[in-house]
C-alpha cells in the first residue's frame, strides 16, 4: 500500500518490456531476465527469488512509505473507510469495501483517490480546491476530511516502522547505497519523524513536492525518476520498493534496475503481473543479497588495488644522445 493512491490502464508486465529496458540497460542478472520472460514458465517462477537476486548494480533505493517502511497503510485504510462508508450510504451507492481501497485508492495522491472511488460509483460532485473545508461536498473537501481523520489517528496511536524494513534500510545504507522516500502522501515527513527514521533519508519526494513541482503521481514513474535525479543516479542504478499496485506499475513503467514488490495484501500474483521483479513478504528477505553485493564490491576494489601495487609504472629507459 502506500498512502492515498493510483490505478490506470494496465501497464506492461515484465514479459512485455522492450529488450532495451528489460535486458540491455538494466543491471539485472540474466537469471532475472530469463525468469521474467519465460512465457512457458509457471507463474511462481516468473519473478526472481530473493535468494537469487543480484543487487551488484544497484546504488540507490527508492522506497515507498506507507506499507513498505511503516504500517501507516492501515491507518489510511481505516481513514478512507470512515470517510466513504457513511458517504456512500447517504448516496444510496454500493457499500464501501476493503477491495475498493486496493482497486481505486491505494498508491494514489489523495484527491485522485477520491475521484477514482466516486467514479466507480457513478457519483459526480464539484472539484472545489485545496482550501475547501473538510465538511464541503467537493472532491477536495472529501480529501481534506480524510486527511483530518488520518492525522487524528496518527497523533493518537503513533506509528512504528516495520523492524524488517529498518534492518534492510540500514543494511543498504551501510553498504554505501543512497536512499530516498517516494510517497504520494502529503504526510510523509511527519510519518517518518513519528516512526523515528527521518534521519536516514537525504531525499523525500512526496505529495507536497509533486504538487509544488508539477510532477505526475503514480502510476506514472515521474516521482521515482525525480528522486533518482536528486540522488545523482541513473534510474538503471536504482531499485523501486513498493507494495501498492500503482507504485509497482510506476516502477515497471520506468527504466529502473529492479522493482521489488512487498506483499502487504495485494497478492503475489497481482504484484508479479504488474511488473515486480522480486516479491517478498518482508524486506529482510533481501539481506543476504545485500551482503553478497557488498562483498563483491569490496572484492573488486581489493583486486583493483592488488593489480595496481603488483604492476608499478616501469622506469623509463635511459636515452642515448647522438651528436
pLDDT in tens, 89-111: 999 999 999 999 999 998 888 99
- What is the full DSSP assignment across 211-223? HHHT---TTSSHH
Q: How far apart (Å, rounded) are the C-alpha atoms in residues 285 and 43?
A: 20
Residue positions annotated with a catalytic role: 64, 66
Q: What are phi and psi of 217, to 5 degrees?
A: -85, 175
Whether 197 has a pLDDT exceeding 70, the answer reads: yes
> Considering all CA atoms of the chain, what is the largest pairwise distance in Å, rounded to the nearest integer?
108
Residue (of 59, 115, 25, 5) closest to 293 by Cα position: 59
Q: How far apart (Å, rounded) are the C-alpha atoms in residues 75 and 57?
A: 35
pLDDT in tens, 52-85: 899 999 999 999 999 999 998 788 888 999 999 9
C-alpha distance across the termini of the chain, in Å = 83
Neighbours of 238 (CB within 10 A): 30
What percent of the chain shows pLDDT beyond 70? 78
pLDDT in tens, 222-246: 999 999 999 999 999 999 999 999 9
Give the predicted TM-score (pTM) of the model: 0.70
- In this prediction, residue 310 has a pLDDT band, given cuts at 50, 70 and 90, of low
Q: How far apart (Å, rounded) are the C-alpha atoms in residues 228 and 238?
A: 7
- Mean pLDDT to the nearest integer, 197-202: 96
The x, y and z cell numbers of residue 210, run together, are: 509533486
Please provide the average confidence, as pLDDT, over all residues in the chain: 83
- The per-residue pLDDT for 269 is 96
Query: Which position has the grid cell 490505478?
Result: 7
Secondary structure letter of residue 262 according to DSSP: E
- The per-residue pLDDT for 9 is 34
- Mean pLDDT to the nearest integer, 267-295: 96
Q: How far apart (Å, rounded) are the C-alpha atoms in residues 95 and 121?
A: 9
Instruction: Identify whether the C-beta of residue 114 lies closer than 8 Å to the C-beta of residue 142.
Output: yes
188-195 vs 139-157: helix crossing angle, rounded to 10: 10
- The per-residue pLDDT for 219 is 94
- In this prediction, residue 317 has a pLDDT band, given cuts at 50, 70 and 90, of low
Whether omega before 49 lies within 30 degrees of 0, making that bond cis, reads no
Amino acid at each position: 500500500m502506500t498512502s492515498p493512491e493510483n490505478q490506470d490502464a494496465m501497464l506492461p508486465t515484465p514479459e512485455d518490456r522492450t529488450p532495451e529496458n528489460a535486458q540491455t540497460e538494466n543491471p539485472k542478472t540474466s537469471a532475472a531476465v530469463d525468469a521474467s520472460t519465460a512465457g512457458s514458465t509457471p507463474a511462481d517462477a516468473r519473478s526472481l527469488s530473493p535468494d537469487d537476486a543480484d543487487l551488484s548494480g544497484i546504488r540507490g533505493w527508492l522506497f515507498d512509505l506507507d506499507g513498505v517502511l511503516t504500517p501507516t497503510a492501515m491507518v489510511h485504510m481505516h481513514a478512507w473507510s470512515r470517510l466513504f462508508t457513511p458517504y456512500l450510504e447517504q448516496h444510496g451507492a454500493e457499500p464501501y469495501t476493503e477491495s475498493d481501497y486496493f482497486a481505486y485508492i491505494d498508491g494514489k495522491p489523495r484527491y485522485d483517490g477520491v475521484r477514482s472511488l466516486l467514479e466507480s460509483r457513478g457519483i459526480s460532485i464539484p472539484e472545489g480546491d485545496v482550501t475547501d473545508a473538510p465538511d464541503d461536498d467537493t472532491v477536495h473537501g472529501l480529501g481534506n476530511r480524510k486527511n483530518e481523520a488520518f492525522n487524528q489517528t496518527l497523533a493518537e496511536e503513533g506509528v512504528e516502522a516495520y523492524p524488517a524494513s529498518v534492518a534492510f534500510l540500514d543494511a543498504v545504507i551501510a553498504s554505501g547505497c543512497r536512499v530516498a522516500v517516494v510517497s504520494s502522501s502529503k504526510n510523509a515527513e511527519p510519518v517518518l519523524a513519528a516512526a523515528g527514521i527521518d534521519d536516514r533519508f537525504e531525499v523525500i519526494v512526496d505529495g507536497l513536492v509533486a504538487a509544488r513541482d508539477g510532477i505526475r503521481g503514480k502510476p506514472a514513474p515521474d516521482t521515482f525518476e525525480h528522486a533518482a535525479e536528486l540522488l545523482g543516479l541513473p534510474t538503471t542504478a536504482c531499485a523501486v520498493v513498493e507494495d501498492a499496485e500503482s507504485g509497482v506499475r510506476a516502477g515497471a513503467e520506468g527504466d529502473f534496475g529492479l522493482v521489488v514488490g512487498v506483499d502487504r495484501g495485494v497478492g503475489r500474483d497481482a504484484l508479479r503481473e504488474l511488473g515486480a521483479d522480486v516479491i517478498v513478504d518482508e524486506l529482510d528477505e533481501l539481506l543476504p543479497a545485500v551482503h553478497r553485493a557488498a562483498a563483491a564490491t569490496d572484492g573488486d576494489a581489493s583486486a583493483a588495488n592488488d593489480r595496481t601495487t603488483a604492476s608499478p609504472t616501469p622506469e623509463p629507459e635511459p636515452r642515448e644522445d647522438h651528436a
